[in-house]
Every structure is written in structure tokens, then in C-alpha cells.
Structure 1
């Protein structure tokens, strides 16, 4: 499959197909990464919820199975200062659910965490030497980013606006993921916290393509070959798919999440800050409906999820994050290798007919 009209991402990242498996924190397994890599796409290992030793073990498993390029993905948030008063107000808002489900309201609140990219993460990149390092919520501090680039790794990050894309290019990104409003999981928003700034994929991609010189990867609302063709028509050099890979047997999702992915309608996702403190798109469930998907009470990222953990243990469907994008109804029940190859073959056939 070398007939792609735009090969900039293929050449830059050393992959065969312009398909990037989105780094789905908590759901991506080494088996998924391996399958996508073997198919010719770019496998991405999300590292924010893994310990350094777990990252080493996953990378070792991947390297033993394939010599294809590997993407390690990290978050670039700043950990918030403790705010006991805000945490107490948030837990108090959830107290009726504790009483209803028989959870111990007076027990210490569990800690919900996502690790930001730091010196330890940087040293891990220097040790493991992935071919690609991608970031969410901007980029790490310049000194750490310089060390990452010194390893020879290509650097990617996600933009939700043209301003963010320009900033990323100016600060050293080799390619930019243009993530539209439709995408599942956390918004990459980092220059503002105003959700009114968020733009849909069809409008965002061509404007970012026009604004930067580096290759652009389209993400958000792309679930089949038609979406890939549309992304290329808008000027993207590749696509990143997340929700599509949640339907693969390699995805590590709960029974509740599995069921919701296969039954929810296209209109049943929303941006919410309830589960982590930062806006992310997921399938609407009870707690989102009753509290409202966005609440000022939710503690800052990544702390909001702690108070929900005891409720999640009692009822996952109603109190867990069920991340998914708006194209979830396009999901195909295929293994990750077959999904990657099928999407590429179908997209290439459509592109070559046009």
C-alpha cells in the first residue's frame, strides 16, 4: 500500500499506513499496540496511568513482538495544589449516591491520579528510546522536551484550535494531531479552559493545515474509510482513531463500557469533567445526567475521580467514565490487525477512485 498521495507522515514516522491507533489510557494493551504495528499503522502506548516498571514491561513485550516504530504517549498537565474544601464539597454532592448504594461515605477518599511527564518520564524515554513520543495537554517544559528530541524521537502533540497548533509548531512538534470536538476521551485543550473555543474536525483540520508547515494528523469523528478519505481531502497526512479500537478484542474495557459502546446512540455522548476534573467525551450515564456533565464542584484534574471510585465499585455503568467519540456507531467488530488493514484498504480504494 504505497499509493498514498501524501506520504509525509509515513516518511516521518517510518510506518506503512497513515493510521495511528489513539493512546487510550486504561484500555490500550500491548497486544493492541503490537497488532496495529504489525498491520503497518502506528501503535501507541498510553503511559499516564502506568508506573515506570509497567511501561518497561509493556515496551519489552512490544519490542519482542515487532520491530515497527512505537509511540509512547504522556500527559503534560500540572498537578493541582491540594484543596480540601473543594474536595469536601464535591464528595458532599455525591453523598446521596453513597447512601443509596451502601458505600462508606466516611472512609478516606481514594486518590485518582494521572502522572504528568516529568524527569522520571524523560529518563525513561532516554532508556527505552521509542521512535515517537506524543503528548496531550501541550508539551513538557523546554529542557525536558530538548532531552526527548535528543534521543531522535519524533514529537507529536494534539491541538484543539489553530492557536494551539501554531504554538505546538513553534515549540518543536514534528507533526500535529488536529483533534476535533467529536473525539472521545480528554480534550487536549491547553491554551484556554473555555470549551466554547472547541472546533469540529471538518472545520479544524483544514485551518490547521493552512496555518502550519508540519504534517497534520486528523482525529475526532473518524470511524471508517469515509472519514479517512475526508481527512485526506481536508489536507491531513494521516488519521488517529481511538474509539474504533475500543471495539477490538485487544481493548481492555469493562463489561459496562463494552455494553455501552455497542448500544449507545450517536447523540448519547457529551463532554464531562465529573470523572477526572478535565473535559472529556464519554457516553452519558446516570451521574452525568443527574449532576450535569460539567460541574464547577469537580476538583481539578486529575483528582475528581477519587470520590467516584467507591460508587464505581458498586455500579460501573452509572458511575464510571465510558469514554467514546461521536462516531461510535461506526465501530467494527474486528481484531486490531484486521481493523487497521481493512480501514486502510477501503480508504485507499476510495481515494484511488476519486
Structure 2
């Protein structure tokens, strides 16, 4: 295996973090398989209730005794505020076009009962999860202090150098440098996402030069070449998402997996159409046809499109699903998580003197 400052801190064998993809892909089986293979498995728990998080953590512990992490979304300023009624009305009418196409009821009730971040954190602390990661911002000083008191290793997400500096000052023990190539939601919290699309090769060394904590490179990394390059640039590990989405243990929808395996590097784009927050995914009819205009911010838009995404998944119709993926799609393979990690490490070792 490859030893770095981060592998020593986390007591793992491989400098590979499985991205904490919320919404179903990060099953206990995937997380345990990654951790058992020497990496760090991560539960994407942003959408889960406290009870679901506790159940998942306990399930993971029946499958592995190795370190793993739990990831949550930090509520942004004004997240609880509802947009103007006119914006909601316009978006509801727009979405009804897709509902008619899918044959589902129009104008469903809008459910905004999102999990409480404070209650989610309580479970993470009560269950003494060894690693906690977060995105979309920085938890309050009180939360960071509680995590510190419990001895939890804390990882934050940055898309710029300034964000990384803020995370280190807030007490993060490591920083994920999320390049513009990365799939899924952008972790930007200081500027607009469109102003923070920095490529990974440029981002990693600049962050590494400005923070003392370990840096985890994320974005378009699919194999050992990406790992070797990231370590050379100053990272202590990589975070891989799309590569794990197509693994056998992944809970990603079969149609999502098929689209990744068939897509090319130019098939993705960044959109806020599905959730109201910028995210990179494979282009779909929904993304291309959504009219430009005022899209409600996250999590309102996420709630408003839930029935459409779920109906599309039930029908195995990828054109209205959120097919999150990074730009390294051509390198994806259908394989087990253990095989992916083994191949990645072996390939990296051939390219660097370790």
C-alpha cells in the first residue's frame, strides 16, 4: 500500500476516500467494502433522518471494524427561507410539463420536512463515528468544538484556496480540494459556484501551499494515474466518486450505472435544475429543456423535483433522473470496490517511487 500523512492519521492502508454520495449510492455494503480493502468508506447521509443515519452506522459496523466516515450537508444562510410565491408558481407550472410526460399527478404537495442538521450531528457524535466530513459550508464553532471533544477526525470541502483556509481556521483536520471536474454537488460556500470552477490540477497545489492540514484531491480521478498525479501535486489522498458508482456494491440505479459506462468525457455539465444547487451530471432532456429563469434555491427545488426524479427512476427513464458523474466517465468499469482499490494502488505504485 501507499503511506501518507493522512493514511497514518486515519489508520487506513490506502490513500483513497470513497466519496460520500448522498441519495442511495453509498450503501453499507459499499462503505464496508472500501474500508475493508484499506480505503475510507463514507456514508452520504445528507438526506437521511437521524434514525436512518443511526441504523446505517450500525449496519456498517456489522460489516467492518475499519474506520469509515459520515458526511452531512451544512445548512446555508437563508436555506429555510421560502422563495417568492410567484417563483414557486412558475416552477410548479414548468415541472408539470414533465409530470404529464411521465404520467404522474400534477402539482403535488410540497414537503419541506428536511432532516435537522443538529439532530443528525447528535447521532454522529452519539455513535462515535471516527470520521466526519461536510460540504456546502462550515458547521458552527459549537459543533466543531463538540466534534473535537469527541476525538472525531473532521474533513471539510473546498473549491477555492480561500475556502480551504477558512476550513483550516475553523478546525478541520483535512480538506477535500474539489476540482471543477468532480461529479455531484459543488461544495462552494464563499462565492457563486460559477465563480469557483477551478480545475483540480490547478487547485490542489495552490491549496497545499496555503494550508498545513492534509489535502484530499477530488474531481475526475478514476485510477492510479490520477492518484499518482494528485500525490505529486501535494495531496495526501484522493476522493473518488464516479469510479465507485459503477462498483457492484454501489446502490446507484442500474440505469445510472449504464449511462456512466456508456458516456464520454464531454457528456456532463454543471446544472442547478434538479436541486437549486450547482451539480455536475450527465446531460439529460430535463437539464437541456428546463427554461432559463428563476429556479428556487436548494433545498426547495430539490423537494419540487423529487417526484419527477423518482418516477423517472421507476420507469428506468434516465432523461429525468439526476445522473451525477464527473468528467472521467470513460475510465469507469463495472467491478468490485476491492478490485478498484487494488488496481488503483498497483497502477499508482508503478508511476511513483514509493
Q: Give the structure-1-normalised TM-score.
A: 0.93
Matches within 5 A, 1:253-332: 253-291=252-290, 295-316=292-313, 317-332=318-333
Q: Which residue in 2 is equivalent to 1:82?
A: 82
Q: Which residue in 2 is equivalent to 1:179?
A: 178
CA 1:116–1:233 in 2, change beyond 3 Å: closer, same or farther?
Answer: farther
CA distance in 1, matches of 2:91, 2:107: 14
Deviations 1:50-83 (A, max 9, x none): 1222211211122222221121111102333123
How far 1:104 moved relative to its partner? 2.1
Deviations 1:150-169 (A, max 9, x none): 10011101100011011111
Q: Which residue in 2 is equivalent to 1:152?
A: 151
How far 1:297 moved relative to its partner? 2.4
Contact 1:113 1:302 in 2 (8 A): no
Question: What's the C-alpha RMSD, in Å, of the aligned pairs?
Answer: 1.7
Moved more, 306-315 or 227-236: 306-315
CA distance in 2, matches of 1:113, 1:251: 27
How far 1:33 moved relative to its partner? 0.6
CA distance in 2, matches of 1:71, 1:225: 22
Q: Which residue in 1 is equivalent to 2:63?
A: 65
CA distance in 2, matches of 1:340, 1:113: 38
**Structure 1, unpaired ranges of 5+:** none
Matches within 5 A, 1:128-143: 128-143=127-142
1:12 aligns with 2:9: yes
Matches within 5 A, 1:76-115: 76-78=74-76, 79-83=79-83, 84-109=85-110, 111=111, 115=115
Residue aligned with 2:157, SS: strand
Contact 1:48 1:116 in 2 (8 A): no
CA distance in 2, matches of 1:48, 1:32: 17
Contact 1:270 1:283 in 2 (8 A): yes
Contact 1:19 1:238 in 2 (8 A): yes
Residue aligned with 1:352, SS: coil
How far 1:281 moved relative to its partner? 0.5
CA 1:161–1:114 in 2, change beyond 3 Å: closer, same or farther?
Answer: farther
Contact 1:113 1:303 in 2 (8 A): no
How far 1:98 moved relative to its partner? 2.9
Q: Which residue in 2 is equivalent to 1:341?
A: 342
How far 1:136 moved relative to its partner? 0.5
How far 1:116 moved relative to its partner? 5.7
CA distance in 2, matches of 1:174, 1:335: 30
CA distance in 2, matches of 1:328, 1:67: 32
Q: Which residue in 2 is equivalent to 1:22?
A: 19
Contact 2:50 2:115 in 1 (8 A): no
CA distance in 2, matches of 1:201, 1:16: 24
**Structure 2, unpaired ranges of 5+:** none
Contact 2:223 2:343 in 1 (8 A): no
CA distance in 2, matches of 1:326, 1:112: 32
CA distance in 1, matches of 2:66, 2:205: 30
Q: Which residue in 2 is equivalent to 1:227?
A: 226
Q: Give the structure-2-normalised TM-score.
A: 0.93
How far 1:100 moved relative to its partner? 3.5
Residue aligned with 2:352, SS: helix
How far 1:311 moved relative to its partner? 3.0
Contact 1:132 1:154 in 2 (8 A): yes
Contact 1:21 1:42 in 2 (8 A): yes
Deviations 1:97-117 (A, max 9, x none): 2333333224424x3676463
* Count of matched residue pairs: 346
Moved more, 240-249 or 76-85: 76-85
CA 1:106–1:170 in 2, change beyond 3 Å: closer, same or farther?
Answer: closer
Q: Which residue in 1 is equivalent to 2:247?
A: 248
